[in-house]
A and B are shown apart, each in its own frame.
Chain A
Amino acid sequence: SQQGEEDPQALSIQEGENATMNCSYKTSINNLQWYRQNSGRGLVHLILIRSNEREKHSGRLRVTLDTSKKSSSLLITASRAADTASYFCAPSGNTPLVFGKGTRLSVIA
């Protein structure tokens, strides 16, 4: 299975702080994707990092990928209350995207 496992399961921070969540996986991948899900809504794609990339930025998001350790991290800088959501990683190869339980981020104003 290409399912990723997110860590921690829950994270609570103050507005303005940085939030870091991690993802580990077991198989070889073509890329790794991160998604956000607000309560009761569908998932929204945040960022995709290819297997030959080590780091990628998008606005306040920074993603790293270490294929030798089969791990990725998502950093959200200067967090806002609106960042409160669940975050999922999806290691991607040639099979359908499979999701773990996610990290539930709470940003307190």
Chain B
Amino acid sequence: DTGVSQNPRHKITKRGQNVTFRCDPISEHNRLYWYRQTLGQGPEFLTYFQNEAQLEKSRLLSDRFSAERPKGSFSTLEIQRTEQGDSAMYLCATTGAVGTEAFFGQGTRLTVV
């Protein structure tokens, strides 16, 4: 257990539905990252927060994806109008200072049917 908690662990949804995932970071970590990973690939960076500010968003992140970290603690990642191509593992990671060790959650596996 790394101290980073992600919920749910698994989500199956029908195409076109909206889904929301949650990440609870290590409390003293002010940086939080979201990644997406498909089979056989490495984690693909989506977005990151420093406290409540969203500092960077990947160009790969379509407008159907939105992330929030309202009080600089937990974060949510929402996917609207899900597509089959959204099926993947969604990983959350947190760090203290930039460039330090990242702690990953166990991920949320999304299956869009």
Contact = CB atoms under 8 A, between A and B. Distances in A.
B99 A93 contact: yes
Nearest to B109: A40
Contacts of A30: 99
A95 B102 CA distance: 13
A89 to B, nearest CB: 10
A42 B104 contact: yes
Interface size band for A: 20 to 34
B104 A48 contact: no
Judged by DSSP, the binding face of A is loop
Interface in B29-78: 33, 35, 40-45, 48, 56
B42 A97 contact: no
Shortest 10 CB-CB contacts between residues of A and residues of B: A42-B104, A99-B42, A43-B104, A92-B99, A45-B101, A99-B43, A96-B48, A101-B42, A42-B106, A30-B99
Interface of B: 2, 4, 33, 35, 40-45, 48, 56, 89, 91, 93, 98-107, 109
